[in-house]
């Protein structure tokens, strides 16, 4: 009788453990299957909101990466300054938001292969074109009021060259453009894709891009340093796009003036 009771307890315990393990395994699988993409929606044409949807180059690339890896996609809107902390804390799996590769960022996260060559350029009022003929030297003029987006590569660039004119930091490129139109700043220093897009949007209002690059940069996706599997998948996806001559066409859909 005691043996029977002990056997019954053992069977019950085994079933319970198996059920719990199964539930834990299922939960883990569901978590790892979803591709959680950290995206900041304040930098058209890279990523922005339109009709309550996240659109742009990175949104398209995120869909493609999810399909390539066979994982459901979840776009997680993240403030730019929180992108790397969110990745490192496990809230997102990958940063797909037009991030420039820098040494300081490489120290904290891993980067996939760059997918676009970029750089910083100035957006100005067309009537001021004669003031901006030599590139970086023009920005050193104490009378030139410069606008940047806080925490971006353009912001760091203006700090590094020690521009002597007044510098205004904006939370978004849209607010910087409004200041440029209102004659509150003379030049908006921002990445090439963003300023080409903004120039096309506001050409009728007199804005003009100075296409002489101030820097040479590369945009790439950021991955947790320990997530080698996703890093390899991202690189394989990019290689497949390049092999099929799709990558440049995808970029040009959102940045018409871009050339490899």
Residues 55 and 171 in one domain: no
Residues 169 and 196 in one domain: yes
Residues 60 and 180 in one domain: no
pLDDT band at 32 (very low <50, low <70, confident <90, very high): low
Residues 78 and 146 in one domain: no
Residues 206 and 126 in one domain: yes
In a domain, 201, yes or no: yes
pLDDT in tens, 96-146: 999 999 999 999 999 999 999 889 999 999 999 999 988 888 999 999 999
Q: Which tokens sit at 39?
A: 């995206």
Residues 106 and 231 in one domain: yes
- 243: how many CB neighbours lie within 10 A of its CB? 9
pLDDT in tens, 194-236: 898 899 889 999 999 998 889 999 999 999 999 999 999 999 9
Residues 38 and 57 in one domain: yes
Annotate 21-44 with b (16+ C-beta within 10 A) or e (fewer).
eeeeeeeeeeeeeebbbbbbbbbb
Residues 80 and 157 in one domain: no
Backbone phi, then psi, for 88, in 5-degree steps? Answer: -70, -25
In a domain, 68, yes or no: yes
Integer Cα distance of 87 and 78 in angstroms: 10
Predicted TM-score (pTM) of this structure: 0.73
pLDDT band at 2 (very low <50, low <70, confident <90, very high): very low
In a domain, 236, yes or no: yes
Is the bond preceding 144 in cis, omega lying within 30 degrees of 0? no
Residues 59 and 70 in one domain: yes
pLDDT at 28 over 50: no
Q: What is the mean pLDDT of residues 7-25?
A: 41
pLDDT at 259 over 90: no
* CATH number assigned to the domain comprising residue 145: 3.40.190.10
- What is the separation of C-alpha 94 from the centre of its chain, rounded to a whole number of angstroms? 10
pLDDT in tens, 47-63: 999 999 999 999 999 99
In a domain, 128, yes or no: yes
Residues 126 and 244 in one domain: no
Q: What is the mean pLDDT of residues 243-253?
A: 91
In a domain, 227, yes or no: yes
In a domain, 125, yes or no: yes
pLDDT at 15 over 70: no
Secondary structure, 3-state, 69-123: HCCCEEEEECCHHHHHHHHHCCCCCEEEEEEECCHHHHHHCEECCCCEEECEEEE
* Angstrom distances, CA of residue 101 to CA of 65, 67, 90, 170: 20, 25, 21, 22
pLDDT at 78 over 80: yes
Residues 113 and 132 in one domain: no
pLDDT: is 154 or 23 the higher one? 154
In a domain, 23, yes or no: no
- Cβ atoms of residues 39 and 83 within 8 Å: no
Q: What is the DSSP letter of 144?
A: -
In a domain, 7, yes or no: no
Q: What is the pLDDT of residue 200?
A: 87
pLDDT at 173 over 70: yes
Residues 147 and 174 in one domain: yes
Q: What is the pLDDT of residue 109?
A: 98
Domain that holds residue 145: 120-210
* Three-state DSSP state, 190: strand
Query: What's the total number of domains in the chain?
Result: 2
- Cβ atoms of residues 38 and 78 within 8 Å: yes
């Amino acid at each position: 009788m005691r043996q029977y009771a002990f056997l019954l307890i053992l069977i019950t315990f085994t079933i319970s453990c198996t059920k719990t393990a199964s539930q834990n395994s299922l939960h883990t699988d569901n978590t790892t299957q979803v591709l959680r993409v950290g995206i900041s929606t304040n930098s058209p044409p890279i990523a922005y909101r339109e009709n309550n949807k996240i659109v742009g180059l990175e949104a398209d690339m995120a869909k493609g990466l999810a399909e390539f890896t066979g994982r459901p996609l979840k776009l997680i809107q993240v403030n730019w300054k929180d992108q790397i902390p969110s990745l490192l804390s496990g809230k997102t799996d990958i940063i797909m938001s037009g991030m420039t590769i820098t040494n300081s960022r490489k120290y904290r996260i891993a980067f996939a292969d760059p997918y676009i060559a970029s750089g910083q350029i100035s957006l100005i009022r067309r009537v001021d074109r004669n003031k901006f003929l030599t590139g970086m030297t023009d920005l050193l003029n104490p009378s030139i009021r410069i606008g940047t987006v806080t925490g971006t590569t353009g912001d760091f660039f203006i700090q590094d060259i020690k521009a002597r004119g007044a510098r205004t930091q904006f939370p978004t490129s849209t607010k910087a453009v409004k200041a440029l139109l209102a004659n509150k700043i003379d030049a908006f220093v921002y990445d090439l894709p963003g300023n080409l897009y903004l120039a096309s949007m506001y050409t009728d209002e007199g804005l003009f891009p100075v296409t002489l690059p101030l820097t040479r940069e590369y945009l790439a996706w950021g991955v947790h340093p320990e997530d080698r599997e996703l890093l390899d998948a991202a690189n394989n996806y990019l290689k497949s796009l390049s092999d099929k001559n799709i990558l440049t066409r995808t970029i040009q859909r959102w940045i018409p003036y871009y050339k490899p």
